[in-house]
Chain A
């Protein structure tokens, strides 16, 4: 794989957007997209965890390859992610208690955000180098944030609309996500082809 870091970045951010094309991280996408401010901060937290775990995953993969124990990969990845999330949680709690409350249960749940584990898995499966991995993780995080913020904007507007009871809630959010996903299909072919 010799894709340039920039094309990987664009690809992960727009063309193969993690939420809208790969369906990763749907739970926070539906759960925290109610308010614009919360959504963007959640995006930032996820991006940070993604970057850290991507760097760690790169090291772990090299290490496990060296000692010949690839079957430990998944377990090691998840352990690293869980500890990074713990770190972020303590940091947010200290720096901004208000944000801590707003994110609520979704902050510890970043551990089980499949987008983060997926970044670690994809980069090792595709054999990206260090710079490529970081670019990929950053693109994925930014793409996640973008999807979350767009969705939050749409949902804030929808608050004002009159709706029948049946469509309220998750069903409507999913239909919206479907439309957004269609929009993102327009990016196909951008940034040197899909991976």
Chain B
């Protein structure tokens, strides 16, 4: 995690900062960070989306704030400062969700408050926002947040479709579908994430093999 811009290195555009979080450095599938909410609240697609958006908001706000204060925070107390900044924004989100939908607040439970200890957020604050100007930090955070939401949706959709035969509460398989209850239960979360990681691993290995084959061909030719 050392994507600070070094002198002499080609400056990366703000759009690229945004895009890398979506795919190349996806916080869940590539960096394997922030696993707890990924597994815990993805039993339905709706919960997954809500959790993703809440995390996205906290991530963008706290990264911008951390970036703004990066020059006045002494090095020794930076982690504590970051955590307190994050906790403040999480409290805001907690109360906002409670105001919008009490039902959703109940479904997500303590996991909204637990956004504080999501390693993705502290990770971005420490690795990126504390070393870069606000605009870039916000773009980076938005990308990571979007990537995180995407990953949550990947799990939520699979688990809800297989486990409940529905998507966003709309039935997709018809009434005679036998639900796989295990997918809604905790173990289903582990299995689904394992399957996604396997898929990503396989894709990455295939790409590496192809690149190696191409290189070998070039040498031969």
Which residues of A pack against B, CB within 8 Å?
20-27, 30, 71, 74-75, 78-79, 82, 108-109, 111-114, 117-118, 121-122, 125, 165-167, 169-172, 174-175, 177-179, 181-182, 185
The prevalent SS among residues of B at the interface is helix
When distances are taken between beta carbons in the complex, the residues of chain A under 8 Å from B185 are 181, 185
Distance in Å: Cβ of B212 to nearest Cβ of chain A: 14
Q: Which of B36, B88, B182, B188 is the one whose CB lies under 8 Å from A26?
A: B36
When distances are taken between beta carbons in the complex, the residues of chain A under 8 Å from B84 are 75, 78-79
Distance in Å: Cβ of A148 to nearest Cβ of chain B: 15
Distance in Å: Cβ of A140 to nearest Cβ of chain B: 13
Residue pair B36, A177 in contact (C-beta under 8 Å): no
When distances are taken between beta carbons in the complex, the residues of chain A under 8 Å from B202 are 166
Residue pair B39, A171 in contact (C-beta under 8 Å): no
Residue pair A78, B110 in contact (C-beta under 8 Å): no
When distances are taken between beta carbons in the complex, the residues of chain A under 8 Å from B205 are 165-166
Q: Other than A21-B186, A166-B205, A171-B201, give 15 A-B pairs with Cβ distance below 8 A.
A: A23-B189, A24-B114, A27-B36, A74-B94, A78-B83, A82-B83, A112-B83, A118-B110, A125-B110, A170-B197, A174-B190, A178-B194, A181-B185, A181-B187, A185-B186
Residue pair B190, A27 in contact (C-beta under 8 Å): no
Q: Which of A20, A82, A122, A175 is the one whose CB lies under 8 Å from B186?
A: A20
Q: Which of A82, A109, A169 is the one whose CB lies under 8 Å from B80?
A: A82
Distance in Å: Cβ of B179 to nearest Cβ of chain A: 16
The 10 lowest CB-CB distance pairs between A and B, nearest first, are: A178-B190, A174-B194, A23-B40, A26-B35, A171-B197, A181-B187, A23-B39, A175-B194, A112-B117, A178-B191
